[in-house]
Amino acid sequence: MKPLVAETREELAAARADIRDWPLALVPTMGALHEGHRSLIRRARKIADVVAVSIFVNPLQFGPGEDLDRYPRTLDIDLRVCADEGVDLVFAPTLDVMYPAAPEVRVSSGRMGGIVEGVHRPGHFDGVLTVVTKLLNLVRPTYAVFGEKDAQQLALIRRMVRDLDLPVEIVGCPTVREPDGLALSSRNRYLSEAERRTALSLSAALRAGAGLAGEGPSAVLRAAQGVLDEAAEADPPLSPDYLSLVDPVTFTEVADGHTGPAVLVVAGRVGATHLIDNVSLSFSAEVAGAASTAPATVFAVKES
């Protein structure tokens, strides 16, 4: 069964009125849907009676020289994916519908938006939080479902919802990967065969770091950095942007002596393509640290 497609605010409002008080889960996307998005939709179906997907390439989160113009736009294919997954409602606004005028007021991502990924993409998270706030206000979901691959984005959305008292529950879903470990991303289609081989160094670095989590944060970072250093000499090379071990809530860096959860985050460019990845760890007080998941299964492809 095909989903109802709303392209205007009026069409969305009419569709939302028919839903009344049924629990609704929203999966915000920029389209080019892949298996990772399907896993988000399936999780949404488990927790709500009605599932909505938004498809909108948000210009506010792209900086100068980034890939806004070439970002894949595959609405017809995306609608077929939504139909396959039993989505009830798709909100697919145009730029003029989403932003009737250039926004003077935007949501600030604050300190958290200016560190780690934010250092390399200034203003990116302000754009993300602004469009997510608009979508939450327009769709009024009970739940909003996001992937854990964008770990800093997820942490910021959760903080925004808490700080601004937005009436929605944020649900995170595990990263879905290719069998070789590469995290699924709409940008993977940009990669040539040779670039894709180099891109595997990101997940390899995370595996190497997770494998030494029992020896503490410094060992984790050294092991992961060693893989990235080798990839920087590959053909084509990886151009690393950052490698950090951070608190999953605040995204501040953690060091030896840290106990509790942490996230090892990495990003880099292969050719013109920017890719990110992460893995969650947990360090205990009894030993220098312990991985929350055995390295052999850290990157198993999972569906929620």
pLDDT surpasses 60 at 58 = yes
- What pLDDT digit, counting tens, does each position of 66-106 carry? 999 999 999 999 999 999 999 999 999 999 999 999 999 99
pLDDT surpasses 90 at 198 = yes
What's the chain's average pLDDT? 93
Least confident of 13-22, 273-282, 284-293, 294-303: 294-303
Binding-site positions for (R)-pantoate read: 61, 153
Q: What is the mean pLDDT of residues 33-52?
A: 98
Q: What is the mean pLDDT of residues 225-230?
A: 98
Binding-site positions read: 30-37, 61, 147-150, 153, 176, 184-187
- What pLDDT digit, counting tens, does each position of 281-291 carry? 999 876 443 43
Confidence band for 227, pLDDT divided at 50, 70 and 90: very high
Per the CB < 8 A criterion, the answer to whether 155 and 108 are in contact is: no
C-alpha–C-alpha distance, residues 61 and 107, integer Å: 12
Query: Dihedral of the CA atoms 282, 146, 72, 266 (nearest 10)?
Result: -20
pLDDT surpasses 70 at 203 = yes
Say what the pLDDT of residue 140 is.
97
Confidence band for 130, pLDDT divided at 50, 70 and 90: very high
Binding-site positions for ATP read: 30-37, 147-150, 176, 184-187
Binding-site positions for beta-alanine read: 61
pLDDT surpasses 50 at 256 = yes
pTM of the model: 0.92
Length of the chain: 304
37 labelled catalytic:
yes
- In terms of DSSP H, where are the helices of the chain? 9-19, 35-47, 75-84, 95-98, 117-120, 124-139, 151-164, 193-211, 217-231
Q: What is the mean pLDDT of residues 245-267?
A: 96
Say what the pLDDT of residue 21 is.
79
Task: Name the active-site residue from 37, 124, 258, 274.
Answer: 37
